[in-house]
Homo-oligomer: A and B are copies of this chain.
């Protein structure tokens, strides 16, 4: 299966590297931003172009949600299979005369950080049933975890990921803002962050909750509010504590 990758961002980067790694290098990587494109093409040892799209069996569109439609219009081959890689766009956002699909790898991608694609769940959707076989086979060569997921399901997967990843990272950033303000090494908190994650393997996170809010420790909550340094930190602190309290409050039948 000849694959062309469209895009020059984090997803394009990691997908291009992963395909080369499993000895199924992309036929080409195509995008408008030559600088980033060239770097990926070199790293993955594949050709690139900013103006001439090669003919391929599968086009993987790895661009931001708002650019998917424009990128999808570059492809005019009716025999092609075209997949975007977004968790929050319907398959129908692809506009062209070809067979449509979605190939959604669930991970947070940063160019600077290598990834083991094998552990990344890939969620597939195909307009035509006949395309599942080839797309699944490619996905299974890349990852140990391949499932089908339509747009409805993808939306919830993405939403869950925002809580478990984007929001968690933001709390790490706010935590570091506080520890930095006191010249405390953020490394002190690493075993705690690791254990917090590790615990979820053994305990439902709802059962594993610790801290002042879940034990209704008003004194500590007030003490923390008094030393928080910005209104934004304080609002975040209060809303998270409220949400913890709500989760453990006895529910009416």
Please state if B168 and A182 are interface contacts (CB–CB under 8 Å).
no
What is the CB-to-nearest-CB distance from A188 to chain B, in angstroms, rounded to a whole number? Answer: 5
Please state if A167 and B240 are interface contacts (CB–CB under 8 Å).
yes
Please state if A166 and B210 are interface contacts (CB–CB under 8 Å).
yes
- Counting CB contacts under 8 A, is A253 at the interface? no
Interface residue count on the A side (C-beta < 8 Å): 91
Please state if A170 and B203 are interface contacts (CB–CB under 8 Å).
no
Chain A contact residues, majority secondary structure: helix
- Counting CB contacts under 8 A, is A197 at the interface? yes
- Counting CB contacts under 8 A, is A51 at the interface? no
- Counting CB contacts under 8 A, is A156 at the interface? yes
Q: Which of A64, A172, A198, A227 has the most CB of B within 10 A?
A: A172
- Which A residues, 148 to 190, have Cβ-Cβ distances below 8 Å to chain B? 153, 155-179, 181-182, 184, 186, 188-190
Contact of A191 with B120 at beta-carbon distance under 8 Å, contacts A110-B203, A203-B112, A205-B176 already known: yes
Name A residues whose Cβ lies closer than 8 Å to a Cβ of B.
64-66, 88, 106-110, 112-113, 115, 119-121, 145, 147, 153, 155-179, 181-182, 184, 186, 188-200, 202-206, 208-215, 217, 219-220, 223-224, 227-228, 232, 235-237, 239-240, 242-244, 246-247
